[in-house]
Each structure stands twice: as C-alpha cells, then as structure tokens.
Amino acid sequence: MRLIDADSVKDFFFSETSGTEETISDLAEKHNLTYLNDVNEDEVMSFAKDLLEAVQNVIETEPTAYDPDTVMKQLEDRSTLAKPVGWTKQYEIVTLKDAIEIVKGRGLDKC
C-alpha cells in the first residue's frame, strides 16, 4: 500500500494539463473506435468522461488509508510527562512501542 492524495487524483482527470482528451482519442484509435467503424467520436468522448467520473466516485468512497489527525490524538493521549535524568525541563514522552503501534494502526484503529 502507498499513500496518495486522492483529491489530487480525482481533480487531475479533468484538469487542463491532464491530457484526458488526447488519451481518450488515442485509446479510441487503439481500439479501432473511429469514424471508419461508424462510431461517433462525441459519443466515445462522452462515454469516456462518464467512466472517469465513475472512477472518481470509486476513489471518493474508498476508506482513508491513514488519518494523521487521529494518529496525533492517539500520540497525545498516550503521552506522559517525564523529566529524564539530566534534563532541565519536563517533556511529553510516548514510548517507542506505543508510537509504533499507533502508526501501524494508520490512525484508523482506536487504541
């Protein structure tokens, strides 16, 4: 698994720099969806755009892979005040074991 910016992916499909129109045209040509086959190019373009909107919907409904706000809250909840030997101030400290557990849980699991 890798983390991506889903909103950026969704926005890319119809951005001016995405090349969506050219990509659709290239794919139509690759699959012989041309005027020679009595296929209306506007209909192919409309279908492809509807398909991309359906892909955007799939991306939108996917669960979050990582919730940084929840991770931060869990780290804060598990932190304790400590003044290690030789330190002049107290600090909030989270044990490495707890921090690893929280991060592995991706902020999605209640710890």
Q: What's CA 38's distance to the chain center, in Å?
A: 39
Residue 1 lies in a domain: no
Q: Judging by beta carbons within 10 Å of its beta carbon (0-12, 13-18, 19+), is residue 74 exposed, middle or buried?
A: buried
Q: What is the extent of the structural domain holding 24?
A: 6-61
- Among 101, 99, 9, which residue's Cα sits nearest to residue 55? 9
Query: What tens digit of pLDDT does each residue of 91-103 get?
Result: 888 888 988 888 8
This prediction has a pTM of 0.53
- CA-to-CA distance for 16 and 99, rounded, in angstroms? 42
pLDDT of residue 109: 56
Q: How many CB atoms lie within 10 A of CB 33?
A: 19
As a whole number, the mean pLDDT across the chain is 82
Query: What tens digit of pLDDT does each residue of 49-92 get?
Result: 899 899 988 888 887 777 788 888 888 898 998 888 888 888 88
Residues 49 and 76 grouped into a single domain: no
pLDDT of residue 11: 87
Residues 55 and 12 grouped into a single domain: yes
